[in-house]
Structure 1
Amino acid sequence: MCVENTPPPSSRLTRRGVLAGAAALAGTTAVLAAAAPQAAAADTRDPAAPRTGRRGGDLVIEGGTLLDPATGEVTEDAVVVIVDGVVRAAGARGRISVPEGAETISAHGRWILPGLVDAHIHLNTAAEARNAVAQGATSARSGSTNFYQDIAVRELARQAPGQAPRLRAAGVFVTPDLGDTILADPDLTPLAGLRDGVRSPEALRRVVEVNLARGADVIKTRVNERAGLPEQDPLAQVYDREQVSAVVAAARRGGKGVLCHSYSEKGCHDAVMAGVRSLEHGAFVGEHTLAEMRRRGTYFTPTLTAIAGLADSSDPVLAERGRQYLPVLKRAVLAAHELGVPLAAGTDSSGGKIKPIGREVELMRSAGLSALDAIRTATTGAAKLLGIDRTAGRLARGFAGDVILVDGDPLSDVTVLKKPVRVVRSGIAL
């Protein structure tokens, strides 16, 4: 079957699907009515940018110790002023003008940091989205969902920021066997008759085009099988360089980047040479490939949390895999950091088991990064990967009013980031 002859996906389907999904997740038809004019504008605007009518709070956080991950500067007795969900001012108390009568949170004895960024997470439900925010991930990038739930979660975040992180959505996974995902969109059904699955350049382009028509911000594909399924071999390659190149080219035509699931050195190298924006997992990535990543500016999202989790599995194959892979991956993370490869923190959480992004920071630290550099992987570094580095990752004028408060100095003990004592999302205290 030549799927290229099928008419291109309709952009009208994108708006209907997004609006309906957002309404279902928010649990009210009123959201749908309010969202309609904004969703029409959303097709051409930065998905992470504040927009007219967006619900943001007014809040003052005072008395804590403020950390700016970008500079490493620490400010004691700090004040952060948030107006309409955006930081108006942040700094030492005597230099900041506080609006009279503003709602105030005391942060005395605590540290103030920007909300964290989870650069690889799977959010399939509203409950998972709320859980991610509650654990400090106020911004995130989806690692794909089966039925475009992440696009609806992104719209939910725009209408009700306290219920979901601002999200870069990946849509559905570009993978050889779509399984039931073939039902995610009628425009995918022509692929059902392909004998070898989604492997030809035409089929690969088709899945990317449907994702773009649905409103995906990024595209997710793979070079290797999964580590989390005992019957699969994570070092077995499923797409070669030419196939990944076809995905990258189709994504670039839509102005989007590609994140690529990978494990083997050959798979990692093929993905990087094909032009992916970020390499996910990458346990066995070698120095030659890391050097190429540095040259190209390719990001490394190692998802240490997910690999460490395998070691705790009740399945002996997965447990052994986790024990073998984790030290190898930690060495790769340190080598990447020392070479200057940009790193981004991602938990690869899914299935109702949302892990705190602070755990990934902890594992980055244990891999050999300094505490500040580990924190940067979940703030300024991840924000840059997502293209929201003027919105998230810092608490400075014009940035989003996303804040976490922690009990303790994260520069001395990054584990405090695993359990934020307070989370503020877009100026709304949760």
Structure 2
Amino acid sequence: MKAIFIAALGVAWLAGAAAQAQTAPAAGDTTLVLAGQLLDRPGQAARGPSTVVVRGGKVVEVRDGFATATHGERVIDLRDQFVLPGLMDMHVHLYIPGDPLKARLEATTRDFEDRFVLAAEAARWTLEAGFTTVRDMGGDPHGMRALRDAINRGALPGPTVVFAGSMISVTGGHGDQGNGLSRDHAALARANSTNLCDGPESCRRAVREQISMGADVIKFAATGGVNSNVAGGVGRQMFDDEMRAIVETAHMFGRKVGAHAHAKDGIEAALRAGVDSIEHGAFTEDSTVALFKQTGAYLVPTELAAFTALEQARRGDRPPAVLEKAEATAKVAQANHRRAIMGGVKIATGSDSGVSKNGDNAREFKLMVAAGMTPMQVIKAATVNGADLLGRSSTIGTIEVGKDADLVAVQGSPLEDITRLERVAFVMRRGAVIKLGGQRQAFPPNPSSEAKTVALGDNAGRAELALVFDDPDEAY
């Protein structure tokens, strides 16, 4: 009875606070972003001098020309810069620091709390690099849930995070943390694992486990991986019925599914199972391209990971089992990605940061141009296509009225030189200025009624539940 009363009281408080927060904003809560050039809808031509009007974390107007402040609006002068939607990375690992040798040396001294702090730092670096939305494809589920929610309520700086929890894998597969360890350490690594499954029923359970811990999407290892400590190659590792069980269960719960897949047989099996995206896709043929187009699935190429993993393996930063796989994959990945691009496969950008350092995500773009994409196609893949893959095109991906005010700016046009996106000078996420003039801004920004509205909208349900109940995946 007490719990019900407290819950009702909490809901009433939230409703009142939300109503108060949503009253007409003062003029000082409005921001005018003056853009020298504005690529508001990637895939279409850029506009000339423009003004983006931001209020309550949303875009409320896009005007031609430079507006002037008449009622105390804040003005951000980017008249000498190129403004575009916030970038998206569809494959990151915030819980992986991008330095495998250091990680191996410090593995026995890092606790859960240490790893969370490292992930929070990675999230901030990623946001400051211009990536306002990311899909984390493998990290500690409880830690990622806490990080996602802390960012959403404004407690920590970072991009909007859509996370997969732990990558689902068969025993001995790419996501088995016990691979290559002594029997005692392997038993310890597997003792509390929630991601290992063998057979369709077990794989359904593994999906439900990730969802129960807050996963927004599901990822599974259809094939071997380059960086896992097992010399089994990068061929197929799951049976058809296991893949179908994972996809059907995830879709039943409203979660999209990404399949880690390098080898052709694993890619095609995952596509037939109904996945929404293939991660990496290093080995393809014309039949693979045809299946992509038939199913409508996205390819997330992670070009940067192929070359980074090879460099690390050659230096000895990774276990010996990795080197042969890295050599074979890096040799063919870009040519096969070019086949997919030229064949009209839908592409979303993903760097697999965590293999490389978080914050260096935009280095992926130059490699995608080398694989056959134009700069405009790359930018569209990093904005419009990313939003579509996430199922969030109504709120992100373009600069349009009613969408989140996620904006970045660079000096000069990235349509002429895509590497300019490696030097982002301005970042705004949901109306909050994160980076200005190339400099980190204070966080949190000054509170406003709009910021409170965003926080309540993202966490109202979680707040109510709190009142009622008051009594490393390997990458690449």
- Shared fold per TM-score greater than 0.5: yes
Alignment of 1:122 onto 2:93 = yes
Instruction: After TM superposition, give the deviation of residue 415 of structure 1 in Å.
Output: 0.2
Give me the whole-angstrom Cα distance separating, in 1, the residues matched to 2:30 and 2:170: 47
Given that residues 133 and 162 in structure 1 are in contact (C-alpha distance below 8 angstroms), is that contact kept between their aligned partners in structure 2?
no
Instruction: After TM superposition, give the deviation of residue 321 of structure 1 in Å.
Output: 4.9
State the TM-score, normalized to the length of structure 2: 0.72
Q: Which residue of 1 aligns with 2:302?
A: 303
Alignment of 1:164 onto 2:169 = no
For 1:189-228, list aligned pairs within 5 A. 198-228=197-227
Instruction: After TM superposition, give the deviation of residue 310 of structure 1 in Å.
Output: 1.9
Give me the whole-angstrom Cα distance separating, in 2, the residues matched to 1:402 and 1:271: 33
Letter in 2 for 1:283: A
Q: SS of the residue aligned with 1:204?
A: helix
Given that residues 257 and 277 in structure 1 are in contact (C-alpha distance below 8 angstroms), is that contact kept between their aligned partners in structure 2?
yes
Alignment of 1:260 onto 2:259 = yes
* CA spacing shift, 1:351–1:301, aligned 2, 3 Å: closer
* CA spacing shift, 1:97–1:348, aligned 2, 3 Å: same
1:393 counterpart (387, 397, 401): 397
- Bigger Rg, which one: 2
Q: Which residue of 1 aligns with 2:452?
A: none
Q: SS of the residue aligned with 2:354?
A: coil
Q: Which residue of 2 aligns with 1:65?
A: 37
Letter in 2 for 1:362: K
Worse overlay, 367-376 or 85-94 = 85-94
What is the alpha-carbon root mean square deviation over aligned residues? 3.1
Give me the whole-angstrom Cα distance separating, in 2, the residues matched to 1:348 and 1:294: 24
* CA spacing shift, 1:160–1:117, aligned 2, 3 Å: same
Instruction: After TM superposition, give the deviation of residue 353 of structure 1 in Å.
Output: 2.4
* CA spacing shift, 1:376–1:402, aligned 2, 3 Å: same
Given that residues 69 and 375 in structure 1 are in contact (C-alpha distance below 8 angstroms), is that contact kept between their aligned partners in structure 2?
no
Q: Which residue of 2 aligns with 1:185?
A: none
For 1:13-28, list aligned pairs within 5 A. none
Given that residues 34 and 51 in structure 2 are in contact (C-alpha distance below 8 angstroms), is that contact kept between their aligned partners in structure 1?
yes
Give me the whole-angstrom Cα distance separating, in 1, the residues matched to 2:78 and 2:60: 18
Instruction: After TM superposition, give the deviation of residue 249 of structure 1 in Å.
Output: 1.3
1:148 counterpart (142, 148, 153): 142
Give me the whole-angstrom Cα distance separating, in 2, the residues matched to 1:283 and 1:351: 16
Letter in 1 for 2:367: L
Give me the whole-angstrom Cα distance separating, in 2, the residues matched to 1:161 and 1:366: 39
Given that residues 42 and 376 in structure 2 are in contact (C-alpha distance below 8 angstroms), is that contact kept between their aligned partners in structure 1?
no
Given that residues 122 and 359 in structure 2 are in contact (C-alpha distance below 8 angstroms), is that contact kept between their aligned partners in structure 1?
no
Cα offsets for 1:32-52 (capped at 9, x unmatched): xxxx869x99xxxxxxxxx98
Instruction: After TM superposition, give the deviation of residue 117 of structure 1 in Å.
Output: 0.5
1:92 counterpart (64, 79, 90): 64
* CA spacing shift, 1:290–1:148, aligned 2, 3 Å: farther
Instruction: After TM superposition, give the deviation of residue 230 of structure 1 in Å.
Output: 5.9
Give me the whole-angstrom Cα distance separating, in 2, the residues matched to 1:106 and 1:175: 49
Identity score, percent: 28
Q: SS of the residue aligned with 1:424?
A: strand
Worse overlay, 100-109 or 266-275 = 100-109
Give me the whole-angstrom Cα distance separating, in 2, the residues matched to 1:134 and 1:70: 21
Given that residues 69 and 372 in structure 1 are in contact (C-alpha distance below 8 angstroms), is that contact kept between their aligned partners in structure 2?
no
Worse overlay, 226-235 or 401-410 = 226-235
For 1:124-139, list aligned pairs within 5 A. 124=95, 125-139=119-133
* CA spacing shift, 1:176–1:58, aligned 2, 3 Å: farther
Q: SS of the residue aligned with 1:211?
A: helix
Letter in 2 for 1:345: T
Cα offsets for 1:135-191 (capped at 9, x unmatched): 11101111021343222222122111871211212122211247679xxxxxxx9x9
Q: Which residue of 2 aligns with 1:418?
A: 422
Structure 1 gap segments, 5+ residues each: 1-35, 42-50, 182-188
Given that residues 136 and 357 in structure 1 are in contact (C-alpha distance below 8 angstroms), is that contact kept between their aligned partners in structure 2?
no
Worse overlay, 66-75 or 387-396 = 66-75
Instruction: After TM superposition, give the deviation of residue 319 of structure 1 in Å.
Output: 6.2
Instruction: After TM superposition, give the deviation of residue 331 of structure 1 in Å.
Output: 2.2
Q: SS of the residue aligned with 1:75?
A: coil
Structure 2 gap segments, 5+ residues each: 1-9, 16-20, 24-28, 96-118, 179-187, 435-476
Instruction: After TM superposition, give the deviation of residue 119 of structure 1 in Å.
Output: 0.4
State the TM-score, normalized to the length of structure 1: 0.79
Instruction: After TM superposition, give the deviation of residue 335 of structure 1 in Å.
Output: 2.0
* CA spacing shift, 1:221–1:99, aligned 2, 3 Å: farther
Give me the whole-angstrom Cα distance separating, in 2, the residues matched to 1:403 and 1:121: 20
Number of paired residues? 373
Q: Which residue of 2 aligns with 1:3?
A: none
Greater relative CO, 1 or 2 (CA 8 Å, sep 6+): 2
Instruction: After TM superposition, give the deviation of residue 340 of structure 1 in Å.
Output: 2.1
* CA spacing shift, 1:113–1:231, aligned 2, 3 Å: same
Letter in 1 for 2:39: L
Worse overlay, 275-284 or 342-351 = 342-351
Give me the whole-angstrom Cα distance separating, in 2, the residues matched to 1:249 and 1:165: 29
Cα offsets for 1:174-213 (capped at 9, x unmatched): 11247679xxxxxxx9x9599xx52122211111112222
Given that residues 146 and 173 in structure 1 are in contact (C-alpha distance below 8 angstroms), is that contact kept between their aligned partners in structure 2?
no
Give me the whole-angstrom Cα distance separating, in 2, the residues matched to 1:280 and 1:429: 32
